[in-house]
Structure formats: C-alpha cells, structure tokens
Amino acid sequence: MRAVVYDRYGPPDVLRLEEVERPVPKADEVLIKIHATTVNRSDCAVRAAKPFISRFVTGLRRPRRNILGSELAGEVEGVGASVSEFRVGDHVYGVNPWNFGAHAEFICMQETAPLALKPTGMTFQQAAAVCDGAILALSCLRPAAEALTWLRPADLRKGQRILIYGASGSIGTAGVQLARYFDARVTAVCNTKNLELVRSLGADEVIDYTQEDFTKNGQTYDVIFDAVGKHSFERCKGSLKRGGAYVATDDLLNLVRAFWTSRIGDKKVLFPIPPRYTKKDVLFLKQLIEAGKYRAIIDRSFPLEQVVDATRYVETEQKTGNVVLSVSATAGPEAQKGSVQIA
C-alpha cells in the first residue's frame, strides 16, 4: 500500500511517499481503506519534534512510528474474528490518537477505538475533518468531569460569556459551534477574511484582531479560550471576570500556571490537555452533525502525493478550519485552494 513515511525529524521535506506492507487486522480490529485524512498541527509538531521534550514519547533519536496522520474517513475492508460492531463495506470516520498511521491507504484500529459510522450526508473529506479539532475543543469546554482542578474543562454553561481567540482554525471553528451548543454567548476573534465565516458558525460578536485588541476594549468574559496558543494568561487576565478561566491549548508552562492559579487568586488557568479521545465523543459529534448543529470547515484539499505542500501550508498558521488529504478518488469533491468548504 502507499503511505507517507518519515524516518528522521525535520522540515516537511523529510516526508516521502513509499510502498509499505499492508496491515492485517487482529481479532479485535477492523481494517479500514482510508479515503481521506488531514494534516494538523499535531502532525507537524511530532514530525519536527517540537518541543524537544516530546522526543521522550515519540522517539529520542528518530521517530518510533514512521507514518503520521490521526484523523480519517474510509470504508471497512476487513474485520477481525471478534468484531461485532462493524461490517465489511461500512463507511466510518474517527481518530487514531497517539498511534497515528492515517497518512496511508489502509489502517487497522480496534473496534473500541474512537471510530463510528460516518455521519449521513457527509463526504469522506468532510468526515475526515471532524474529530481532532472538535474533540480537543469539547475537552476544553464541556461540563466539568471529576478530575484535578487544573485539568478540568471550562464547564461552560448557559448564558456565560466566552471569547474564542483563533476562532477560524480547526479547534476554533469547533469551539464556536460547541459553545453555541452549550448556550453560551460567543465572542470570536479572527482575522478580517474570516469574520463572516465565524458569524455563520454562530458567534454573537466578532473581533478583527488586525483592527482591535480585545484585551484593551474593557469587556470581560467568564472564559477565554485560546484555540491557537498565541496569547497568555498574563495578557488575558484583565479581560476575565472574577472567577473566570483562561483555557489553554498549547505550551506546557500552562500546566504549571494551572496548578499555581488553582491555589492562588480568583482567576484560573485551565489546561485540559492532552484530550481523551473516546468513541462516545465521536458518536456525540455524529449526532450533532446529523441534527444540523455542527459543520466541518475545510480550507484546502490536497492529494496524498502533495503531503509536503499540505504540511507547508498548515505551518503558515493561516489555515481556516482544516486541511484535508485525499487518499482515494472517492474521497469527495476537492476544495479549491484558497477557498473554504462548509459541510
């Protein structure tokens, strides 16, 4: 089978398309023929080994796993002897966190993995663009679960005011829609070209960061969700209400800040990262999509052969929503470069 592989850390050019052995499903696994996948910031960070400390997980001198890609949509090609939930021919979508392997024509996943039947009416491209950003946003905003205080999500509730910084990215577009689902009042911050897009996703107010600094407009919020890791608690603290929370998605130092602010002060840093990817969440997103309450946003689509170009584009940090890789001709209509698709 064809797969994008890499055997050393470095720039996008270390990625190459090769023929590799097709995986064989174990008794509790399904074999999926992948039609579409994505390139996201996790793929880029792992490939570049940034931060350096990540090498202690991914491989100190060279990557332990040489195929990236976590999100996928495709068709069940085979099932293990003990699999009962899926059948050959099922159209599925999901995410393979930490194990990666989706930048390839086939992948094996456990039946119990974050995998479900593809939402009705979605193309494979659209379905591939759902899970990673949405589950990360959901992990940050959903009602609080039993966990250490600084690892809890924001516990977003009806009527609360939330500001989402980076509202036009993969996590941000998901965050806007999920915040609306939780009946919060949403202020979205993005650049000029994406103002109408985030309004269409349900933002009550939009701020163009090229024209206005939200930290200086006198408004305060119950939650500030930094979906792109470009701000800081120190800069946002004055824009939080008493008892408010700055929710971070990047920078391991936020783990220290979260621990410290859980004990001192009336404004908190929350860092519910890494998220837990579960089948329950994939099924929840399927329900939202089929109810018309969630849309996947696709900026650009590239064929698998152009994975280096796709990766370079993601690393400009200017993408809107998601960047998709089409693995097969049946993935669905490709987005024009420079345009945005809304599922």
| Domain range list for the chain | 2-130+296-342, 134-270
* Reported pTM: 0.91
Q: What is the token pair recorded at 320?
A: 């809107």
What span, in angstroms and rounded, lies between the C-alpha atoms of 151 and 148?
Answer: 5
CA atoms 328, 120, 200, 250: torsion sign: negative
pLDDT tens profile 7-51? 999 999 999 999 999 999 999 999 999 999 999 999 999 999 988
What span, in angstroms and rounded, lies between the C-alpha atoms of 231 and 134?
Answer: 20
What span, in angstroms and rounded, lies between the C-alpha atoms of 134 and 178?
Answer: 8
Fold of 2-130+296-342: Quinone Oxidoreductase; Chain A, domain 1 (3.90.180)
Cα–Cα distances (Å) from 302 to 235, 310, 325, in that order, read 37, 6, 5
Residue that has been written with the tokens 């130092």 in this structure: 253
CATH architecture of 134-270: 3-Layer(aba) Sandwich (3.40)
Task: Please provide residue 19's backbone torsions phi and psi, each rounded to the nearest 5 degrees.
Answer: -90, 125
What span, in angstroms and rounded, lies between the C-alpha atoms of 23 and 102?
Answer: 12
Got the DSSP string for 246-257? EEPSS-THHHHH
46: helix, strand or coil:
helix
pLDDT tens profile 219-265? 999 999 999 988 899 999 999 999 999 999 988 888 888 888 888 88
What span, in angstroms and rounded, lies between the C-alpha atoms of 185 and 113?
Answer: 33
Amino acid code (one letter) for 151: L
pLDDT tens profile 65-80? 999 999 999 999 999 9
pLDDT tens profile 281-314? 999 999 999 999 999 999 999 999 999 999 999 9
